Amino acid sequence: MSALGVVGFTLLCAALAVGVMLPGGLLVAWALARRQWPGKSAVETLVSLPLVMPPVATGLLLLRLLGRRGWLGRPLEELGLPIAFTWRAVVVAMAVMALPLFVRSARVAFEGVPRRLEQVARTLGASPWRAWWTITLPLARRGLVSGVLLAFARALGEFGATILVAGNIPGRTTTLATAIYTHEQLGEDAAAFRLVAAGVALAFAAVWGSEWLLRARRAEGSRAGGGA
Amino acid sequence: MRLELEDLRVPLAAFDLSLSTTLEARVAAVCGPSGAGKTTLLEAIAGLRRCTGAVRLDGEPFQDARARLAPAARRLGYVPQEGALFPHLDVRRNLFYGAARAHDVDSTAAHVIAVLELDPLLDRAVDALSGGERQRVALGRALLSGPRLLLLDEPLANLDPPLRERIRGHLLRIRDELGVPMLYVTHDARDVAHLADTVLRLERGRLVEQGDPQQLLEPDPGALRFRGDRPGSRGDRLRPA
């Protein structure tokens, strides 16, 4: 696969990974920010684990879960939906590794929305869903988008978990990170550095965008503080 | 309005808010020292706080042993102390946020906008409003949702005296022209004297006095306080504006 093909495949998988983890990530972040429930601290820890565990360990656990003989992998395989060592495994590995970053950003974003505003919306006749959609979500949007960008950047660079659960199959599961590794192993420095340059540019854009949004949110927050 | 609170109990950190009473008034003022449970009382009536006991407005149960109405179904206009305008919506969209549930929105809106002099503000951003303008918009937003009762939590507390006087005039027009009853938390004796026909006094979550402001308050406007209070005997009592 050409360098462009690898970059395109990685971008696509990272975008899918963010899409896959987004609904669950939003729900978990909101529940952590706004609700008290039994097992909250356990879920909080579990969600953050991939951030601190060695990525290969996460990958190995995913392989046990999603491999051909895994708890989930076997039934999915029987349904004609193999996961391990396919592009789907790339997406799953990226999603799992990106989730903690998104949840942390989203949680802070939700916590920054004054609860009083949601309560007032409820007294004005809004259902919980409408209050969330029209008040909470728009007021948290910058933090959420910043979290999406960080998660996307994390997914783009994913290596350890991906190589365990998806392998490094040229044209099928090779991503930017695994391709750099392969080129380096083969002594193809020029090809490796072309991909490194692409990776740095993409990561820079995502992190810069995320930081810009956070700065804008802080400025907006300080302006809106009196009205909240 | 006829607001019935029966064995209403809300657990708080230092004490429980616990009271039973029936209020029949156009405007009932809730007074008492800071931390007496006044805001908690409004929140409990609005359905924003878990509580036990029964709350009924004009005979309709908001909550009792069998059921608890969601805040959205109570049709109350809650205006917290800081106004709590939605900062990402302009004044017009703030005003009409709850209007979907009101009947006859157009004529009500025109009247409310006229009474509160909101017309020049409609297209403004919330962060471009002054303190008094914010409170007028918050009042208008609550009124446009077609409330059966306004719950006002010290709406004039952060305003300077001339502005306070002006908004008090708006509240009088809401009472007299729009006919919306109010439960009004205040530290300000002038609010009670001008607006309320019943006053409740809370201390540490208990109702310690209730009745006609003329009978419960000292007549001297320079030293407005409850009859029976020795001057200076409590640090936080009704104070003149």
Which of A170, A197, A199, A172 has the alpha carbon at shortest distance from A182? Answer: A170
What is residue B229's predicted lDDT score, i.e. its pLDDT?
65
The whole-angstrom distance between residue A102's C-alpha and the CA centroid of its chain comes to 6
Token pair belonging to B67: 């059921």
Answer whether residue B138 shows pLDDT above 60.
yes
Token pair belonging to B106: 């157009």
pLDDT interval class at B241 (50, 70, 90)? very low
* Closest by Cβ to A125, choosing from B72, B83, B127: B72
Chain B residues near residue A119 by CB distance under 8 angstroms: 43, 46, 48, 71, 78, 84
Mean of per-residue pLDDT scores for chain B:
86
Chain A residues near residue B105 by CB distance under 8 angstroms: none
Token pair belonging to A127: 């259902």
Mean pLDDT along residues B140-145: 92
* Closest by Cβ to A120, choosing from B47, B84, B126: B84
What is residue A148's predicted lDDT score, i.e. its pLDDT?
94
User: Which of A26-35, A162-171, A219-228, B7-16 is least confident?
Assistant: A219-228
Yes or no, beta carbons of A120 and B78 under 8 Å apart: yes
* Closest by Cβ to B46, choosing from A123, A135, A139: A123
Tell me how close the Cα of B7 comes to any Cα of chain A, in angstroms. Answer: 23
Task: Give every strand in the sheet of B27-31, ordered side by side.
Answer: B76-79, B149-153, B182-185, B27-31, B198-203, B206-211
* Closest by Cβ to A123, choosing from B78, B83, B127: B78
Yes or no, beta carbons of B78 and A224 under 8 Å apart: no
Chain A residues near residue B87 by CB distance under 8 angstroms: 139, 220, 223-224, 227-228
d(CA A217, CA B88): 12
Is residue B27 within 8 Å of residue B182, measured between CB atoms?
yes
Nearest chain B residue (CA) to A127: B72
d(CA A193, CA B136): 62
Chain A residues near residue B142 by CB distance under 8 angstroms: 124
What is residue A1's predicted lDDT score, i.e. its pLDDT?
67
Q: How many CB atoms lie within 10 A of CB A146?
A: 26
Tell me how close the Cα of B234 comes to any Cα of chain A, in angstroms. Answer: 31
Tell me how close the Cα of B153 comes to any Cα of chain A, in angstroms. Answer: 12
Answer whether residue A191 shows pLDDT above 70.
yes
User: Which of A107-116, A201-210, B49-58, B136-145 is least confident?
Assistant: A201-210
Chain A residues near residue B150 by CB distance under 8 angstroms: none
Yes or no, beta carbons of A121 and B80 under 8 Å apart: no
Domain assignments of chain A as residue spans, ordered by start:
3-227
Tell me how close the Cα of B62 comes to any Cα of chain A, in angstroms. Answer: 13
Contacts of B136 (CB under 8 A, 6+ apart): B116, B117, B118, B121, B167, B170
d(CA A61, CA B101): 52
* Closest by Cβ to B127, choosing from A120, A138, A227: A227
What is residue B104's predicted lDDT score, i.e. its pLDDT?
66
Tell me how close the Cα of A228 comes to any Cα of chain B, in angstroms. Answer: 5
**For residue range A74-117, what is the model confidence (pLDDT) as tens digits?**
999 899 999 999 999 999 999 999 999 999 999 999 999 999 99
Yes or no, beta carbons of A124 and B84 under 8 Å apart: no
**For residue range A166-178, what is the model confidence (pLDDT) as tens digits?**
999 998 999 999 9
Residue A196, helix vs strand vs coil:
helix
**For residue range B160-191, what is the model confidence (pLDDT) as tens digits?**
888 888 888 888 888 888 888 999 998 888 88
Tell me how close the Cα of A132 comes to any Cα of chain B, in angstroms. Answer: 13
Chain A residues near residue B100 by CB distance under 8 angstroms: 125
- CATH number for the domain formed by residue range(s) A3-227: 1.10.3720.10
pTM of the model: 0.83
Yes or no, beta carbons of A139 and B88 under 8 Å apart: yes
Q: How many CB atoms lie within 10 A of CB B89?
A: 18
Chain A residues near residue B126 by CB distance under 8 angstroms: 224, 227
Is residue A94 within 8 Å of residue A13, measured between CB atoms?
yes
Yes or no, beta carbons of A124 and B142 under 8 Å apart: yes
Q: How far is CA A203 from CA A99, B131, B172, in A?
A: 17, 44, 60
Yes or no, beta carbons of A124 and B74 under 8 Å apart: no
Q: How far is CA B31 from CA A47, B44, B211, B226, in A?
A: 47, 16, 12, 10
A-B C-beta contacts closer than 8 Å:
80
